[in-house]
Structure 1
Amino acid sequence: MKENTFPEAVYYYFKEWQEYNMEIHKHKAIEIMYVIKGKCTIEINNTKVELRKQQYIFIYGNVPHRLIVEKKNPCRMLNVEFEWKENMKHFTSIHNLMHHDQSLKEMLTASEDYFILKDSGHIYGHLSSLVLELDLQNSDNRLQIDILFIQLLLSVAKSRKEQMQQIGQSNEWIIHQVLTYIHENYDYEIRTCDLANLVHLHPSYLHRIFKKMMKITINEYLTKVRMEKAKMLLTKTDIPVTEIANYVGINTSQYFSNLFKIYTTFTPSQYRKEGQNFIGEDNKLESHG
């Protein structure tokens, strides 16, 4: 986006799709696809997402995508595509608007390819009003079209920010539940699918959330917990080395020994022998309350 750019519609329509399989395509225009009734699937970057009534997708420019509508599930949609155009006839610019609204700036400068939102009650009104004015476009309603574009973008940006905050709060709760379970059950076998069932998520989705928030995978975190517990047991108890594997949820003492050496560069026996030298040198994993 250059300094004096402003959105200008290049394509907009209402359409009832009975059955449709669009070719994968991309364009420099930003596209908003709003489902008025029914449902559809959007394939975007080899990922399929479903849109239902009163949901809409905001697809950034130059992102490969296609629309899929099944015969048994017709879908009525409202689409608006717009590009950034340099035109001094507009009373403001998108850069000026971003300067005054942080959520708009965050949305328009995001590195994501798309996002999906549920209409909070205003978006369809903004879209349909915009399309009506575009259909009637003349020199007398240019300002009205600009204002409608601003209302639309500000409303979408606000909804996006609110959804991200809600997701963030939800993800914090999810991670708290997972961490609590790991810290209370590390002596059992723990699988990602078990943790996913705990928080009612698909395992791959939980994996992505966990890695994004913790900067480490679930298995890496679980290993860290177990190895730190093993270090404590080796230096502060007389539990036989051969039994410590069981205390930290690892099936065999040989696998435990190999894993411990990878984690600390010492065998469990070496670590116990040098025990007092290690106490206080390592950053202990904080217990999760």
Structure 2
Amino acid sequence: MSLYDESLRLQEYYPFVTFYYYKEWQDFSMEMHEHDSVEIMYVMCGSCKIELEGETTQLKKGQFIIIDANVPHKLHVQSEKRCRMANVEFAFRPGATNYLTFKRVVEETPSLLQMISHYQPYLLFLDSNDIYACLKSVILELDKKGTSSDFMVQLLLSQLMIRISELANRNDHAPEQSLYNKKAVDFIHQNYDRDIRVKDIADAVHLHPGYLHRVFKETMGCSINDYLVMHRMKKAKELIAQTDIRITDIPYYIGVSSQQYFSTIFRKYTGQTPMEFRKEQQRLHLQSDDFINN
């Protein structure tokens, strides 16, 4: 059952662990596969790559990924590298129980409700220092041979999901959002002059494009595409005003392949055509020279 299945919010289900491990991988490539459980993979040290949804995402130390049920994926660790991981997979059972149902946890946790209200095949995060501790507690409880308490596992698993949802949704976790935004902005500033897309930026900061888009817009007040266009127009204005580069060549200096598109967007952002803007800048420059000479 998907983590985003509406039944989990309306009916009585409770989560249970189907598989878990602590393991170190080296020179390993898993077959593409899928399963009915939701999977959490946490990188304790080293790095690995996860292939899913036609994309390859890199995970480094302190990062973790939540892969929804029935999403095909594949783990790959290069031969020259090692990757130590903690993994928990869980599914949902229906029916009356003395355990804390997932429905009840969602009702009491607005951030969890928000997180599971919008489907994402996977979510990638940078730990905020307490996710690993929660995940480790679940695994240690499961590892108690013959003495593991199912009730305690349910509580710890619920705590883990609550902490993850807070990391995903609270608006005041500025350090994580600032880190992702800074990396995204740096990538744009360094690569605006070539053909780049949101997916390229998301790959550079190791986030799912949809999640990066949401985080960026919440904190920056505009979409990634809007920011990219604004930065390109800023650079175009500088080139038009400060150089003799032909107007028809300007788009290629800022990563825009269409002259018509460039002219349309430039006018939208400045209220002038590129040629009108250059003539105005030349006029202002002459007036400034006249003022200085007089």
- Equivalent pair of 1:126/1:148 in contact (CA under 8 Å): yes
CA apart distance, 1:218: 7.0
Residue 156 of structure 1 is matched in structure 2 by: 164
1:115 and 2:127 matched:
no
Distance in 2 of aligned mates of 1:70 and 1:10: 27
1:144 and 2:177 matched:
no
Matches within 5 A, 1:1-289: 1=5, 2=7, 3-136=11-144, 141-162=149-170, 192-193=192-193, 204-205=200-201, 213-214=222-223, 251=246
Distance in 1 of aligned mates of 2:46 and 2:182: 33
CA apart distance, 1:109: 2.8
Distance in 1 of aligned mates of 2:54 and 2:138: 31
Change in Cα spacing, 1:20 to 1:91, as seen in structure 2 (3 Å) is same
- Equivalent pair of 2:16/2:90 in contact (CA under 8 Å): yes
Change in Cα spacing, 1:44 to 1:224, as seen in structure 2 (3 Å) is same
Change in Cα spacing, 1:194 to 1:215, as seen in structure 2 (3 Å) is closer
Change in Cα spacing, 1:164 to 1:42, as seen in structure 2 (3 Å) is farther
Change in Cα spacing, 1:143 to 1:203, as seen in structure 2 (3 Å) is closer
> Any stretches of 5+ residues in structure 2 without a counterpart?
203-208, 249-258, 274-294
Residue identity matched to 2:112: L
Distance in 1 of aligned mates of 2:184 and 2:134: 37
Residue identity matched to 1:29: S
Residue identity matched to 1:110: H
Larger gyration radius, structure 1 or structure 2: 1
Cα deviation code 1:161-218 (max 9, x no counterpart)? 25976666678889999xxx9xxxxxxxxx932799xxxx999428x77897349667
CA apart distance, 1:50: 1.5
Change in Cα spacing, 1:134 to 1:88, as seen in structure 2 (3 Å) is farther
Residue identity matched to 2:193: C
Q: Secondary structure at the match of 1:70?
A: strand
Distance in 1 of aligned mates of 2:60 and 2:185: 31
Query: With structure 1 as the length reference, what TM-score do the two structures score?
Result: 0.62
Q: Secondary structure at the match of 2:33?
A: coil
Change in Cα spacing, 1:90 to 1:35, as seen in structure 2 (3 Å) is farther
CA apart distance, 1:67: 0.4
Change in Cα spacing, 1:218 to 1:116, as seen in structure 2 (3 Å) is closer
Distance in 2 of aligned mates of 1:65 and 1:44: 5
RMSD over aligned Cα atoms: 4.6
Distance in 1 of aligned mates of 2:98 and 2:132: 24
- Equivalent pair of 1:130/1:149 in contact (CA under 8 Å): yes
- Equivalent pair of 1:103/1:157 in contact (CA under 8 Å): yes
